[in-house]
C-alpha cells in the first residue's frame, strides 16, 4: 500500500478495482484489512479506496488528541491527493461517524452514504463497553486489548466456529498494534463524538445497516440516525454482531451493493 502525504501525516492507502469510487472506511481498529472478506464482491463493480486511519496500520502513529472530525479531515485530504471529487462512502462504526461528518460539511464529495453498525451519540451501553476496552489497553497492554476484541465484535456462534481464523486475526493485530496510548486516545475521541449536529445537513442518499445482536452499537443507535437523516433507510439483519460484514459477508455485500447500485454517480451528474 502506498503512502499519501496529508499535511502532518502519511496515510497508508490502497486502490482496487475499476468503476465508480467507493470509500470503505474501517471502524475503531482503523485498518484497511478489516474489509478483506468484502473486497472481491465490491471490486467486481467498483473502484475501492481503502486506508489505514491515522494512528493505525501503516499510517503515521500520531501521539495526540484524536477526534472523529480529525479523521474526517484526514479522509477528505486523502480524497484530494487521489483527485477523487466524489465517492460513495461505506463506513463501519467509527467509519460511519466519519461519513456523517463528511456528508454534512462537504456534501458535494459524497454520492451516497452507508452507515454500518454506526451511531450518532453514545449512551451508557457504549460508555460501559468503550471504557472497559480503554481500561484493558491501559492496564493490561496492547496484546490483551486485541485478544479481547472478538468478544465485542462477533456473535457467540462465530467465535465458537472460527477459532483458527480469529487466532490469526489476533496475531496480526498484535504484530501491527499501535501503542496503548494511541488506542486510548482514539477511543476517547470516539466517545466525545456528537453526530446529532450533522444530521440536518446530510442530503445524499443514506442507508443504515445493523445486526440485531450488535452489542456495541445496537439497532436503536441506527434507528436514531435514520429518524433524523432525511430520506434515510434501514436494514436490520437478524445476526452478525458488530462485525456483520465479516461474520455474514454475503448478506452484507448484497444489501450494500444493492443500495449503491440505486444511486450511481454518473446518473446523478446527468441530472
Reported as a single tens digit per residue, the pLDDT across 40-51 is: 999 999 999 999
HEC per residue, 162-174: CHHHHHHHHHHHH
In the prediction, which pLDDT does 69 show? 98
pLDDT tens-digit map of 5-31: 998 999 999 999 999 999 999 999 999
Using the predicted structure, report yes or no on whether residue 270 has a pLDDT greater than 80. no
CB 65 within 8 A of CB 73: no
Residue 271 has pLDDT above 50, yes or no: no
Cα–Cα distances (Å) from 56 to 32, 36, 100, 192, in that order, read: 10, 16, 21, 19
Identify the band that residue 267 occupies on the pLDDT scale cut at 50, 70 and 90. Answer: low
CA–CA gap between residue 246 and residue 154 (Å, rounded): 9
Cell of 57: 496500520
Instruction: List, for residues 194-239, the tens digit of each pLDDT value.
Output: 999 999 999 999 999 999 999 999 999 999 999 999 999 999 999 9
pLDDT of the residue at 87:
98
Q: Please tell me the predicted confidence (pLDDT) of residue 7.
A: 85
pLDDT tens digits, one per residue of 138-180: 999 999 999 999 999 999 999 999 999 999 999 999 999 999 9
Q: Over the stretch 84-106, which tens digit does the pLDDT of each residue have? A: 999 999 999 999 999 999 999 99
Checking if the pLDDT of 269 tops 90, the result is no
Q: Write down the pTM of the prediction.
A: 0.96
Task: Tell me the average pLDDT of the chain.
Answer: 96
Using DSSP bridges, classify how beta strands 3-6 and 9-16 pair: parallel, antiparallel or unpaired.
antiparallel
Amino acid at each position: 500500500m502506498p503512502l499519501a502525504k496529508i499535511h502532518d501525516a502519511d496515510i497508508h492507502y490502497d486502490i482496487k478495482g475499476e468503476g465508480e469510487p467507493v470509500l470503505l472506511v474501517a471502524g475503531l481498529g482503523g485498518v484497511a484489512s478489516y474489509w478483506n472478506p468484502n473486497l472481491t464482491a465490491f471490486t467486481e463493480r467498483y473502484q475501492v479506496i481503502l486506508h489505514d486511519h491515522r494512528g493505525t496500520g501503516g499510517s503515521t502513529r500520531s501521539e495526540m488528541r484524536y477526534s472523529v472530525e480529525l479523521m474526517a479531515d484526514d479522509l477528505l485530504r486523502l480524497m484530494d491527493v487521489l483527485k477523487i471529487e466524489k465517492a460513495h462512502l461505506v463506513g463501519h462504526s467509527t467509519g460511519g461517524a466519519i461519513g456523517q461528518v463528511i456528508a454534512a460539511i462537504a456534501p458535494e464529495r459524497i454520492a451516497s452514504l452507508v452507515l454500518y453498525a454506526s451511531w450518532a451519540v453514545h449512551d451508557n451501553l457504549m460508555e460501559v463497553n468503550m471504557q472497559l476496552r480503554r481500561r484493558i489497553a491501559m492496564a493490561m497492554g496492547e496484546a490483551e486489548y486485541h485478544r479481547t476484541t472478538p468478544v465485542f465484535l462477533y456473535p457467540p456462534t462465530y467465535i465458537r466456529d472460527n477459532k483458527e481464523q480469529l487466532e490469526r486475526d489476533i496475531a496480526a493485530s498484535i504484530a501491527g498494534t499501535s501503542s496503548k496510548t494511541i488506542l486510548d486516545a482514539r477511543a476517547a475521541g470516539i466517545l466525545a463524538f456528537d453526530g446529532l449536529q450533522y444530521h440536518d445537513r446530510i442530503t445524499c442518499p443514506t442507508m443504515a445497516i445493523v445486526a440485531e445482536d450488535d452489542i456495541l452499537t445496537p439497532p436503536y443507535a441506527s434507528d436514531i440516525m435514520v429518524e433524523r437523516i432525511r430520506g434515510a433507510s434501514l436494514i436490520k439483519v437478524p445476526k452478525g454482531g458488530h462485525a456483520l460484514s465479516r461474520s455474514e459477508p454475503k448478506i452484507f455485500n448484497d444489501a450494500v451493493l444493492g443500495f449503491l447500485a440505486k444511486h450511481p454517480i454518473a446518473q446523478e451528474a446527468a441530472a
